[in-house]
Amino acid sequence: MTRPLLVWLRDDLRLDDQPALRAAEGRPAIFLYIFDEKSPDLRPLGGAAKWWLAGSLEAFDASLRARGGRLDILRGAAGTLVPEVARACAASEVVWTRRYGGAEIALDAAIKRELAGIGVAARSFNGQLLREPWEVVNDAGQPVKVFTPFWRRHRALGPPPAPLPAPEHLEAAAWPAQAPPRASLEALGLRPTRPDWAGGLRATWRPGEAGAGERLSAFLAAAIQGYADRRDRPDGEHTSRLSPHLRFGEISPRRILASVEAAMAQGAIPARSGEKFLAEIGWREFSYSLLYAAPDLARRAWQPRFEAFPFRRDGAAFRAWAQGRTGYPIVDAGMRELWTTGYMHNRVRMIVASFLIKHLLLDWRDGEAWFWDTLCDADAANNPASWQWVAGSGADAAPYFRIFNPMLQGEKFDTDGVYVRRWVPELRALPSSAIHAPWQAPAAALAGAGVRLGETYPRPMVDHDFARQRALAALAEVNA
C-alpha cells in the first residue's frame, strides 16, 4: 500500500505555481489546513483577514475537489496536530511552503524535528517570494537596508524560476481513523454573524484563486497602462488590488512577474508602468527580508533610538481617527473605505498613518494593530514595515520630519474630490476647491452644501501647523 504524502497548507491556497502541491501529483495525499490560534507567539488573524480566509478555504477546497483532492481542516496547535496526522496516516513525507516570521520559523523547525523522530521526512519550498531573504544580501552577507539597492541586487540575480503549472490530477487519501476529528469551515467561526459587518467586503471582493486571476487579467488589460503616472491617485481604478490575494497565496509573485514581463515583451503594456509595478512587488520582497532579519518588526522600532519617542496616549483621539472623524476629509475617507471594504489605497494609507503618528503623536504600533484587524491584506511583513517607514523608525524610512499635509495630499491626488465624495458623503455637495479643507470654505459654500461644521461634519481635531511643530519638537527629544 502506498504511503500518502501530507501537504500542510498555510498561506498558499492555490493550485498554480504551488511547489508543495506539485509534489503531490501522482501520489495519494492528505491536503491539510490547520487553523492555529494555540501555538506560542503566532499572531492571531484580524477580523477582515478571517473573513477572507473563509472564502479562500472554500474556493481552494472546490479547486482541489475538481482535480480529485480534498481539503481537510483541523483546529488547534500545529506542533501537535501535524505529527499526529503524519503518524496516523503513516505519511511518506510532509511538505509545506516556507514562512519567514520568527515564531513561524521556530514552529516549523520544531515540527521538522518531531517528524524526524518518528521517521517522517519533511521538505519545504519557496512558494511565497520571488527569492529567499537570504539570497539578497550585501557584500558582507547582511540584509540590504535600503530598498533601491535591495531591488537592484534582487534583479541582478537574474530571473527567478519560472512558475509551475497547476497539477492536472490529484488523489485524496482517506482520512485516517486514528487522526483527530476534522473541523468544518463553519465551525471555525471565521465569518462575522452578530453583527454581520462584512457586507461591504462581500460587495468588493471575490476571495480565491479564480478571483486573483480575474484581478490580474483586468489590471493587465487596463489600469497598468497608466500605472506609472496614476498609481498614487485613489480617485479611480489605477492599481492592481492584488494584495489580499497575495496575502493568502491565491496567486504567486512569480506568476505576476511572468505575466507582467510577458506583456512588456509583447509591447502590450508600457515598460515604464510595468517596471514601476514590479518595483511594488519588490517592496513586498524587501519587507519580507526585513521581517526575516527582525522578527519583532511589528513590536519594536527597527532603529532603536525611536523606542524613546514620546508618543501620547489618547484613546478618544485614536477612536476619532479609526472611525474617520478627524475633520480632515482625505484621512476620514481612507478610514471609512478601510472599515467598509477591508482595503485602502496605498497613498491614502501613507496619509492616514502619517496623521496618526505625526499629527496626533500616537504610537505607530497602535495604527499597525488597527490595520492588522481591519485590512483583508494584513500582511506580517508589509504591514509593520510600511508603518515603520511612515513613522521614520524603519529601514529606508521616510525621514520623521517628512509630515504629510493632508490638505495638499488631497488636492494633489484627489483633485476633484471624487474619492472624498464617495466615502465622506456629507461633503458631497461642496465645490472641489473647498472639499479638502471645508473649515476654510466660505460660509455660503458650506450652507449651500448643507455642511454644518461640528454637527454634520467635524472640525479638524488638531491644527496642522501646531501638529507639525509638536511632532518636530518630539523628534528633537529623540535626537538630543
- Residue 402: predicted pLDDT: 86
347-351: long-range contacts, CB 8 A cutoff, minimum separation 24: 347/231, 347/232, 347/233, 347/234, 347/409, 347/413, 348/234, 348/419, 349/386, 350/386, 350/390, 350/404, 351/404, 351/406, 351/409
For the chain, what are the domain ranges? 5-127, 129-162+210-293, 304-473
pLDDT in tens, 134-151: 999 999 999 999 999 999
For residues 357 and 364, give the distance between their C-alpha atoms in angstroms, rounded to a whole number.
6
Cell of 14: 492555490
Give the mean pLDDT of the chain. 96
Query: In degrees rounded to 5, what are phi and psi of residue 211?
Result: -60, -40
Q: In the chain, what percentage of residues exceed pLDDT 90?
A: 97
What average pLDDT does the segment 196-204 reach?
Answer: 98
The mean pLDDT of 13-27, rounded to a whole number, is 96
DSSP sequence for 419-465: HHHHH-GGGTTS-TTTTT-GGGS-HHHHHHHT--BTTTBPPPSS-HH
Instruction: Give pLDDT, residue 400.
Output: 73
pLDDT, tens digit (0-9, with 9 covering 90-100), for 454-470: 999 999 999 999 999 99
Report whether 385 contacts 393 (CB < 8 A). no
The answer to whether the beta carbons of residues 207 and 59 sit under 8 Å apart is yes
pLDDT the model gives residue 480: 67
Query: Read out DSSP for 277-328?
Result: HHHHHHHHHHHHHHHHH-TTTTTS-SSGGGGG---B--HHHHHHHHTT-SS-
Q: How does pLDDT run across 202-235, given as a tens digit for each residue?
A: 999 999 999 999 999 999 999 999 999 999 999 9
Assess whether pLDDT exceeds 90 at residue 60. Answer: yes
According to DSSP, residue 73 is labeled: E
Instruction: Determine the pLDDT at residue 245.
Output: 98
CATH architecture entry for 304-473: Orthogonal Bundle (1.10)
Residue 479 pLDDT class (50, 70, 90 cuts)? confident
Q: Render pLDDT for 306-334 as a digit per residue (tens, 0 to 9).
A: 999 999 999 999 999 999 999 999 999 99
3-state helix, strand, coil in the chain (%, to 5): 50, 10, 45
User: What whole-number percentage of the chain has pLDDT above 70?
Assistant: 100
Q: Provide the residue type at 151 as one letter.
A: W
pLDDT tens-digit map of 410-438: 999 999 999 999 999 999 999 999 999 99
Residue 372 has φ and ψ, to the nearest 5°, of -60, -35
Q: What pLDDT shows up at residue 347? A: 97
User: What's the average model confidence in pLDDT over 362-374?
Assistant: 98
Q: Is the pTM of this model over 0.95?
A: yes
For 42, 336, 372, 427, the CA distances from 236, given in Å and listed in that order, are 37, 16, 25, 19
For 92-105, the pLDDT digits (tens) are: 999 999 999 999 99
Handedness of CA 191, 197, 200, 203 (dihedral sign): positive
CATH number of 129-162+210-293: 1.25.40.80
Cell numbers that stand for 356 in this block: 496618526
Q: By the 8 A CB rule, do 122 and 35 touch? A: no
Average pLDDT (449-456) is: 98
- Return the CATH class of domain 5-127: alpha beta
